[in-house]
């Protein structure tokens, strides 16, 4: 009964084209943003339940935010532009390692040419953003095959990117600044004199990145470029006939998607992990991101958040719930259960609702608008 | 009653030959389209009508022959270049973007008119927002014109066939084309829907001054709507002229009804 839009009249097209044209949605979002930006940090600072320890921040909220960001990037490519990618993990790695190299100073000795390229260490913020740009560049490179090949074949091409960069970051010591263990340490997170150290600060930093990038991504997908991507996804022939250049549409999708994933990768390394090995960005990460997008909702920014939350929380719930219910399960059983639940859920969603949880929610909202009447 | 006021040639097709392997889809076809007219292309199934449209908007490349559009001759062309030149098109079996709303489909038709690039669209402020609103206003005019206000936010996959055809026409109109190619705009429609569609075609021609080339099997519609009719049969143009001339032509009657050998 509360969810009615009767009496909310729009008098301009700008109002009608707002992200949330219904007032109740705007109020709900404002509350959510308020909780995320003010409520959570306050509770966490004073260690009030459920933030008694830092577990919730470290183990759930921080990875949730960063993976949601990476899922948004994946969703732009897979959900909006329809180009299947199995290389998201590689683009996270490119973002992370580029940011690392830029933050610690780049030195390329070109002995045969008689000089060396040297870039002094850059500030952290610049490194993270440039890491994203680097990832965008590589994304464009690996997007070029998409002009010729489609579907599964393209997925294989992006898989090649995944394996190539896994190998490169593991075997080429230049990327890890010749660290003997192969793992690298993130620099101090110094943002214009403000040093980010505590979990709360890290959480706020990620929240800021995610909020800004999510809004910008939403702007893109509801603007003309987003319509070009979706047109290419839905029917590329008709898209060409209304003047959309497949080259431009596909490569911008690859670039924007890789940029967001790259920034997420840099945050994952710098803010969440602190020190990492190439294993952190393996093929499993790519698959996880793909699952998030499919479960959350292909072609939906909100779906990326839901998918990330689901993929993160289900394993944790499976760990905690059985013991709480007095049903102690072995770790092995839990891992198996996890596979069973994810696998069957993806099959179910692909068949019944290819647009994932996000579509289920919007169907629910449509029903709610009429409730308690069926129509 | 509208009449093409000039004899300006908008599109000239000269001696076009198109073959797929051994199959000759078009053999030495020449005809022209005058500015502001409604030009029909008719013929029995497999006559090469759709192939002709595909050649005109760059989808197929003819083996021989030349196409002159707005005074510029070209042999080969990418479909998006044809779109840029001002050729819009609808399909025999609707080719809409199924996952998008009717509004977004028509908005996508404005792509070529969008001036602000990626960086402005990301911000969606000031000029970029103003531009988006301006496009929306233009699109709403088309939505009003086609009387599809109530379905503007419905994903087109959920719409009935007749409305999908209308949305597709809307998407083509959003491009503000000089030449509009309609491939069987009335296929599979009932009488009422056909009358609506005929009205829209005449209005587009009158109101926006768009030149229209259409393929249609409903002879009553073709004879009522068009200024001139070209008849294809087995890839050969067998007749060309006003509807009355074509109707009386013995070759055309033979092509449609068959002749005893």
Q: Could you tell me if residue A302 is inside a domain?
A: yes
Q: Do B108 and A235 touch (CB under 8 A)?
A: no
Q: Could you tell me if residue A206 is inside a domain?
A: yes
Tokens of A310: 């689901």
Per-residue confidence (pLDDT) for residue B57, from 0 to 100: 87
Measured between beta carbons, which residues in chain A are less than 8 angstroms from residue B80?
240-241, 243-245
Tokens of A231: 């047109």
Q: Do B99 and A233 touch (CB under 8 A)?
A: yes
Listed by start position, the domains of chain B span: 1-86+180-189+210-261, 94-176
CB burial class (10 A; 0-12, 13-18, 19+) of residue A320? Answer: exposed
State the complex-level ipTM. Answer: 0.89
Cα dist from A329 to A191, A220, A251, A325, A342, whole Å: 45, 46, 47, 11, 18
pLDDT at B72 over 80: yes
pLDDT at B261 over 70: no
Compare CB distances from A252 to B89, B118, B171 and report the shortest one's residue. Answer: B118
User: Which H helix or E strand runs over A108?
Assistant: strand A106-110
Tokens of B206: 């009158």
pLDDT in tens, A242-279: 989 999 999 999 999 999 999 999 999 999 999 998 88
Are B9 and B34 a contacting pair, CB within 8 Å?
yes
Q: Which segment, A209-213, A362-366, B43-47, is predicted with the most confidence on average?
A: A209-213
Number of domains in chain A: 1
What is the per-residue burial (b if ≥16 Cβ within 10 Å, else e) of A10-21? eeebeeebeeee
Q: Helix A283-296 and helix A88-104: axis angle, to 10°?
A: 120
Identify the residue among A223, A225, A253, A365 best suited for mutation to test binding to B, counting B beta carbons within 10 A and taking the highest.
A223
Are B25 and B64 a contacting pair, CB within 8 Å?
no
Among residues A223, A279, A220, A298, the alpha carbon closest in space to that of A253 is found at A220
pLDDT at B151 over 60: yes
pLDDT at B103 over 90: yes
Identify the residue among A5, A219, A224 best suited for mutation to test binding to B, counting B beta carbons within 10 A and taking the highest.
A224
- Three-state SS at A148: coil
Measured between beta carbons, which residues in chain B are less than 8 angstroms from residue A230?
97, 99-100, 104, 108
Q: Do A224 and B59 touch (CB under 8 A)?
A: no
Measured CA to CA, the distance from residue A90 to residue A70 in angstroms comes to: 12
pLDDT at B143 over 90: yes
**Residue A212: pLDDT band by 50, 70, 90 thresholds?**
very high
**Residue B7: pLDDT band by 50, 70, 90 thresholds?**
low
Residues in Cβ contact with A109 at an 8 Å cutoff, skipping those fewer than 6 apart: A116
Among residues A200, A266, A211, A267, the alpha carbon closest in space to that of A61 is found at A200
pLDDT in tens, B204-229: 999 889 999 999 988 888 999 999 99
pLDDT in tens, A114-138: 777 888 889 999 999 999 999 999 9
What is the per-residue burial (b if ≥16 Cβ within 10 Å, else e) of B21-44? eeebbbbebebbbbbbbbbbbbbe
CA geometry: angle at A142 spanning A301 and A135, to 5°?
60
User: The whole model's pTM is what?
Assistant: 0.90
Compare CB distances from B121 to A13, A225, A230 and report the shortest one's residue. Answer: A225
Are A178 and A105 a contacting pair, CB within 8 Å?
no
Share of chain B above pLDDT 90, in %: 54
Q: Do A242 and B107 touch (CB under 8 A)?
A: no
Q: Could you tell me if residue A342 is inside a domain?
A: yes
Place of tokens 């192969």: A182
Measured CA to CA, the distance from residue B24 to residue A89 in angstroms comes to: 50
pLDDT in tens, A8-48: 888 888 888 888 888 888 899 999 999 999 988 888 888 87
Of all residues in chain A, the one with the smallest CA distance to B173 is: A242
pLDDT at A209 over 60: yes
Mean pLDDT in residue range A50-76: 90
Count Cα atoms within 13 angstroms, Cβ side, for B133. Answer: 14
Compare CB distances from B108 to A16, A231, A299 and report the shortest one's residue. Answer: A231
Q: Could you tell me if residue A375 is inside a domain?
A: no
Query: What's the mean pLDDT when you consider all of chain A?
Result: 89
Residues in Cβ contact with A7 at an 8 Å cutoff, skipping those fewer than 6 apart: none
Q: Do B99 and A225 touch (CB under 8 A)?
A: no
User: Per CATH, the architecture of B1-86+180-189+210-261 is what?
Assistant: 3-Layer(aba) Sandwich (3.40)
- B94-176 is classed CATH 3.40.50.300: yes
Give the strand pairing for A190-191 and A194-195.
antiparallel
End-to-end CA distance of chain A: 14
**Residue B75: pLDDT band by 50, 70, 90 thresholds?**
low
Measured CA to CA, the distance from residue B60 to residue A191 in angstroms comes to: 57
Measured CA to CA, the distance from residue B47 to residue B49 in angstroms comes to: 6
Tokens of B85: 């030149």
Measured between beta carbons, which residues in chain B are less than 8 angstroms from residue A76?
none
CB burial class (10 A; 0-12, 13-18, 19+) of residue A310? Answer: middle
Q: Could you tell me if residue A295 is inside a domain?
A: yes
Q: Could you tell me if residue A362 is inside a domain?
A: yes
- Output the furthest CA–CA distance in chain A (Å, rounded): 79
Share of chain A above pLDDT 90, in %: 46
What is the per-residue burial (b if ≥16 Cβ within 10 Å, else e) of A25-52? eeeeeeeeeeebeeebbebbeeeeeebe
Chain A residues with CB under 8 Å of a chain B CB are: 12-14, 16-17, 216, 219-220, 223-225, 227-228, 230-231, 233-235, 237-245, 252, 256, 299
Tokens of B99: 């996952």
pLDDT at B122 over 80: yes
Mean pLDDT in residue range A291-314: 91
Per-residue confidence (pLDDT) for residue A107, from 0 to 100: 81
Compare CB distances from A220 to B82, B97, B122 and report the shortest one's residue. Answer: B122
- Three-state SS at A374: coil
Q: Could you tell me if residue A12 is inside a domain?
A: no
Measured CA to CA, the distance from residue A86 to residue A291 in angstroms comes to: 11
**How many other CB atoms are there within 10 angstroms of residue B49's CB atom?**
27
Per-residue confidence (pLDDT) for residue A138, from 0 to 100: 95
pLDDT at B1 over 50: no
Q: Do A240 and B80 touch (CB under 8 A)?
A: yes
Query: What's the mean pLDDT when you consider all of chain B?
Result: 89
Per-residue confidence (pLDDT) for residue B32, from 0 to 100: 92
Identify the CATH number of the domain in which residue A83 sits. 1.10.3470
pLDDT in tens, A360-374: 888 888 888 877 777
Tokens of B71: 């005074």
Q: Which residues constitute the domain of residue A58?
A: 53-370
- Three-state SS at A149: coil
pLDDT at A113 over 80: no
Compare CB distances from A224 to B80, B89, B114 and report the shortest one's residue. Answer: B114
Q: Do A228 and B111 touch (CB under 8 A)?
A: yes
Q: Could you tell me if residue A30 is inside a domain?
A: no
pLDDT in tens, A165-202: 999 998 888 888 888 888 899 888 888 888 888 889 99
* CB pairs A-B closer than 8 Å: 105
């Amino acid at each position: 009964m509360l969810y009615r839009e009767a009496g909310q009249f729009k008098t301009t097209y700008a109002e009608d084209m707002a992200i949330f044209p219904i007032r109740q949605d705007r109020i709900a979002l404002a509350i959510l943003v308020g909780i995320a930006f003010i409520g959570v940090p306050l509770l966490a600072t004073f260690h009030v339940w459920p933030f008694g320890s830092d577990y919730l921040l470290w183990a759930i909220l921080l990875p949730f935010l960063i993976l949601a960001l990476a899922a948004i990037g994946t969703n732009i490519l897979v959900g909006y532009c329809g180009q299947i990618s199995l290389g998201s993990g590689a683009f996270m790695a490119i973002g992370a390692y580029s940011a690392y190299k830029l933050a610690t100073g780049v030195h390329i000795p070109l002995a045969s040419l008689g000089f060396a390229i040297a870039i002094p260490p850059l500030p952290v913020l610049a490194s993270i953003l440039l890491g994203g740009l680097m990832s965008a560049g590589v994304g464009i490179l690996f997007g070029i095959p998409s002009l010729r090949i489609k579907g599964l074949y393209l997925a294989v091409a992006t898989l090649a990117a995944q394996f190539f960069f896994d190998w490169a970051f593991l075997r080429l010591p230049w990327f890890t600044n010749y660290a003997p263990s192969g793992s690298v340490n993130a620099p101090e997170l110094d943002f214009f004199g403000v040093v980010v150290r505590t979990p709360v600060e890290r959480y706020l930093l990620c929240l800021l990145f995610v909020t800004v990038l999510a809004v910008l991504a939403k702007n893109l997908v509801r603007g003309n470029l987003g319509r070009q991507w979706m047109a290419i996804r839905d029917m590329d022939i008709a898209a060409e006939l209304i003047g959309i250049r497949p080259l431009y549409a596909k490569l911008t999708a690859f670039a924007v998607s890789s940029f967001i994933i790259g920034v997420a990768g840099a945050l994952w390394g710098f803010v969440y992990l602190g020190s990492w090995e190439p294993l952190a960005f393996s093929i499993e990460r790519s698959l996880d991101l793909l699952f998030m997008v499919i479960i959350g909702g292909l072609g939906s920014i909100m779906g990326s958040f839901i998918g990330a939350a689901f993929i993160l929380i289900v394993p944790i719930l499976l760990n905690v719930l059985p013991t709480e219910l007095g049903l102690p399960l072995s770790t092995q059983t839990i891992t198996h259960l996890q596979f069973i639940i994810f696998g069957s859920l993806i099959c179910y969603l692909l068949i019944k609702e290819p647009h994932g949880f996000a579509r289920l929610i919007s169907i629910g909202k449509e029903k709610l608008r009429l409730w308690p009447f069926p129509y | 009653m509208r009449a093409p006021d000039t004899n300006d040639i908008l599109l000239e097709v000269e001696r076009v030959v198109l073959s797929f392997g051994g199959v000759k889809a078009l053999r030495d076809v020449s005809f022209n389209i005058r500015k502001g007219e409604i030009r029909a292309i008719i013929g029995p199934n497999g006559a090469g009508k759709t192939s002709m449209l595909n050649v005109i908007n760059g989808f197929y490349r003819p083996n021989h022959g030349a196409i002159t559009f707005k005074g510029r001759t070209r042999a080969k062309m990418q479909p998006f270049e044809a779109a840029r030149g001002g050729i819009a098109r609808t399909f025999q079996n609707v080719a809409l973007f199924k996952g998008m709303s009717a509004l977004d489909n028509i908005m996508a038709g404005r792509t070529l008119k969008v001036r602000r690039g990626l960086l402005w669209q990301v911000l969606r402020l000031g000029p970029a927002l103003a531009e988006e609103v301006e496009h929306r206003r233009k699109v709403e005019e088309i939505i009003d014109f086609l009387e599809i206000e109530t379905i503007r936010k419905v994903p087109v996959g959920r719409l009935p066939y007749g409305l999908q055809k209308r949305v597709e026409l809307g998407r083509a109109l959003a491009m503000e084309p000089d030449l509009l190619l309609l491939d069987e705009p009335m296929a599979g429609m009932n009488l009422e829907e056909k009358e609506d569609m005929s009205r829209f075609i005449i209005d587009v021609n009158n109101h926006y001054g768009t030149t229209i080339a259409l393929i249609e099997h409903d002879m009553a519609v073709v004879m009522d709507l068009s200024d001139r009719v070209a008849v294809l049969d087995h890839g050969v143009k067998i007749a060309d002229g006003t509807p009355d001339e074509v109707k009386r032509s013995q070759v055309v009657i033979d092509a449609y009804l068959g002749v005893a050998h």
